[in-house]
A and B are shown apart, each in its own frame.
Chain A
Amino acid sequence: MGWESWLISTLARALAYGTPLLLGTLGEIYAERAGVLNLGIEGMMIMGAYSAFVVAYKTGHPWLGVLVGAVVGGAFSLIHAFASITLKANQVVSGLALTMLGLGLSGVLGRSWVGHPLFTPLRRITVPGLSAIPIIGPGLFTRQNLLVYITMLLVPILWYILFHTRIGVTIRAVGEDPATADSLGVNVARVRYLCVIFGGIFAGLAGAYLSVGYRPSWTEGMTGGMGWIVIALTIFAFWNPIYGLLGSYFFAALYHLSYRMQAWVSPELLKAMPYAFAIIILIFVSRGTLQKRMGAPAALAIPYTRGEE
């Protein structure tokens, strides 16, 4: 067991643990690009996890569970969308409320589902051919969930849409300068609603991945704070899906290494490491002048009211 074992396990866990983070981050990037900060990721994620598990358990079809998890995540995000876009409520408060509501609601609803293993989880696949490549094969292409690769493929697509299509320009315009976008005939509220729902769908997918694929069972509070990592990763990613992928996998790799290195470095310190890294990046990113260049939407977290400013 030399360095190969370290490389292989780090690659494999970066993908497996990084995928729910990446899904959540991709959704939050779109919501924030349209100017809506959604701190409700954890709540939407766990509602997705809960509903995906129940549907997969009842029907025996894990992909149906994934679909329902996505729909429930999207539907749940409507609460935040309504509060922050239509009612123009404080986005921080509304998002936090969504997180608490999701954790509480899923806990109550999920009570009778505790202790039931899911016998029909998402299959793990080994990619023929590619898995034979030394190191890369066992690291990236062996016994991973199909959702891992689907998420990976979504990254360039979402990046392209955001930066190279009219839709992307519209979204970014709404997040940068909603008044101007409005004067050009863009329906600001509608764009924001759609982006928040899109974020909810992706958070729901992340939750579904956890309860139907990653660890197929339901446990109250099973998202374990991943929603908060997503918030940090979104900034870490400079609101760019490509960097979102790098950030998510990098964080997951550090997380894995924190368990492999416990024998030599204090576990408390290692556990704090990925988070400390996120904070350092946050400090770096939020330094005034840099913020603009890094891609922070200028109108982030500011409700838009026509005719004000």
Chain B
Amino acid sequence: MHRKIVLAAVMAMVLIGGLVAIAAADPYVPGTPIKAGFIYIGPVGDYGWSHAHDVARQILVKEFPWLSTVYVENVGTGDVVSTIDKLVNDEHCNVIFTTSFDFMDPTLAGAKKYPDVIFAHCSGFKRAPNMATYMADFYQVYYLNGLAAGALTKTGKVGYVGAVPIPEVKRHINAFTIGVREVNPEAKVDVRWINEWLNPAAAAEATEALIADGCDVFAFTEDTPTVVQKAAESGFPSFAHYSPMYKFAPDYVVSGELVHWEKIYADFLQKIYDGVYTAKNLQNVDYWWLLGQGAVEMGAKPGMAINPAYVDKLKAVVIDHPTFGKISVYDLIQTRLNQMGDPGVTFDPFQGPIKDRKGNLEVPKGMWMSVDSLISLEWAVDGVIGPWPGEP
């Protein structure tokens, strides 16, 4: 008797639980309010990646009256599925954004578990009928920064502090190095890895090590303004990354990369609201947005591609360019910016012939790289010195 009651109670709970789950995951009806959940890998206070996504989230809330949002920060890869459970069942989100490469498989698992919820995963390559992918990539901007760095280095050694040696960071270092060498064919880009996304002290010591090794211009991929600050302390120019870091060293920040995730999010959410995107048709939806779409911008401060303090210095460096002949680096940057900013892009930094530093031809003459080969890139371009974990 007793056991039966317990059994009945358990069954009732399972049923109720099931009903709740079903009720929570109703398909989205276009034109009704959307609740979007954001899952961040880092703290929104990192002033880098997660911060940039959260800035976009806040812009969206102001822009769309029908949108409400919720976010969860500092989520480990192992907690993504349970976080998705919470966002779907407790927060009743219709759309969930997961913003780290590592979240790819758990997001796919979540998408299978909740087929009526719309998912979008940032920086990955796995999709499903209810899971799109998106990325605002910087490689063009890193290349443009590289052109300026090549003009500014006196020692011929440009320092680069890398976070974690994954294809994205390697792609950016390569693009940057291609820019440096286009202006200054003898220059080297010396790389140091901190193996973390956020560790100011590690970034500081990596910068100091590069300074001790003779580097005099600095760029980085890491989530804090540390490299900018440390380079400025020693009087060296640098390039900002991800967030507007101009104010951290107004006399030394030459340029940098800025992201506008809101452009992608706004487009995606508007299309869901309009009924264009549903939980059935996202299998081939991949945003790979660059300068042309306005998802990224060159500069360390919005609207300022090059720090005015460096404009004359870059105009003064005139090189003999294989395509443009005698041209100042400032004009070269503007020309390349136009070639890539135009919706009809007429130039790509990874334009063949490109050899890796071991001498293998990676991109044949006249060819461009496909998005797939860009996002899986592991080799180091000629001109990169220093360690390169996972080098093929």
Please give the residue numbers on chain A whose beta carbons come within 8 Å of chain B beta carbons, in ascending order.
1, 5-6, 8-9, 12-13, 16-17, 107, 110-111, 114-115, 117, 124, 210, 214-217, 219-226, 255-256, 259-260, 262-263, 266-268, 271
Q: Which 7 pairs of residues, A with B, have the shortest CB-CB distance?
A: A259-B209, A9-B212, A220-B45, A224-B199, A117-B248, A220-B43, A114-B45
Provide the bound-state CA to CA distance between A266 and B192, in Å.
Answer: 11
Question: B residues 171-203 with Cβ under 8 Å of A?
Answer: 190, 192-193, 195-196, 198-202
Check A268–B248 contact: CB distance below 8 A. Answer: no
Known contacts A256-B205, A267-B195, A271-B195, then 20 further A-B pairs from the complex at CB < 8 Å, ordered by chain A residue: A9-B209, A9-B211, A12-B208, A13-B205, A111-B44, A114-B46, A114-B47, A117-B247, A214-B201, A215-B200, A215-B204, A217-B248, A219-B47, A219-B198, A219-B224, A223-B201, A224-B196, A259-B206, A262-B193, A262-B387
Residues of B within 8 A of A226 (CB): 201
Residues of B within 8 A of A13 (CB): 205, 208-209
Residues of A within 8 A of B47 (CB): 114-115, 219
Provide the bound-state CA to CA distance between A107 and B73, in Å.
Answer: 11
Produce 1/0 per residue, B338-377, CB < 8 A to A. 0000000000000000000000000000000000000000
Residues of B within 8 A of A256 (CB): 205, 208-209
Residues of B within 8 A of A263 (CB): 190, 385-387
Question: Interface residue tally of chain B, by bracket?
Answer: 35 or more
Tell me how far the C-beta of B229 lies from the nearest C-beta in chain A, rounded to whole angstroms.
Answer: 6
B121 at the interface (CB under 8 A from A): no
Provide the bound-state CA to CA distance between A1 and B206, in Å.
Answer: 18
With A117-B247, A215-B229, A267-B195 already in contact, the answer to whether A17 and B201 are too (CB < 8 A) is: yes
B230 at the interface (CB under 8 A from A): yes
B51 at the interface (CB under 8 A from A): yes
Check B46–A220 contact: CB distance below 8 A. Answer: yes
Q: Which of B44, B211, B230 contacts A215 (CB 8 A)?
A: B230
Check B213–A260 contact: CB distance below 8 A. Answer: yes
B243 at the interface (CB under 8 A from A): yes
Provide the bound-state CA to CA distance between A84 and B137, in Å.
Answer: 51
Provide the bound-state CA to CA distance between A221 and B248, in Å.
Answer: 19
Residue of B nearest to A8 (CB): B212
Residues of A within 8 A of B46 (CB): 114, 219-220
With A9-B208, A111-B45, A268-B195 already in contact, the answer to whether A224 and B202 are too (CB < 8 A) is: yes
Question: B residues 193-247 with Cβ under 8 Å of A?
Answer: 193, 195-196, 198-202, 204-206, 208-214, 224-226, 229-230, 233, 243-244, 247
B275 at the interface (CB under 8 A from A): no
Tell me how far the C-beta of B50 lies from the nearest C-beta in chain A, rounded to whole angstroms.
Answer: 10
B389 at the interface (CB under 8 A from A): yes
Residue among B209, B213, B243, B385 with the most chain A CB within 10 A? Answer: B209
Provide the bound-state CA to CA distance between A9 and B207, in Å.
Answer: 12
Check B389–A267 contact: CB distance below 8 A. Answer: yes
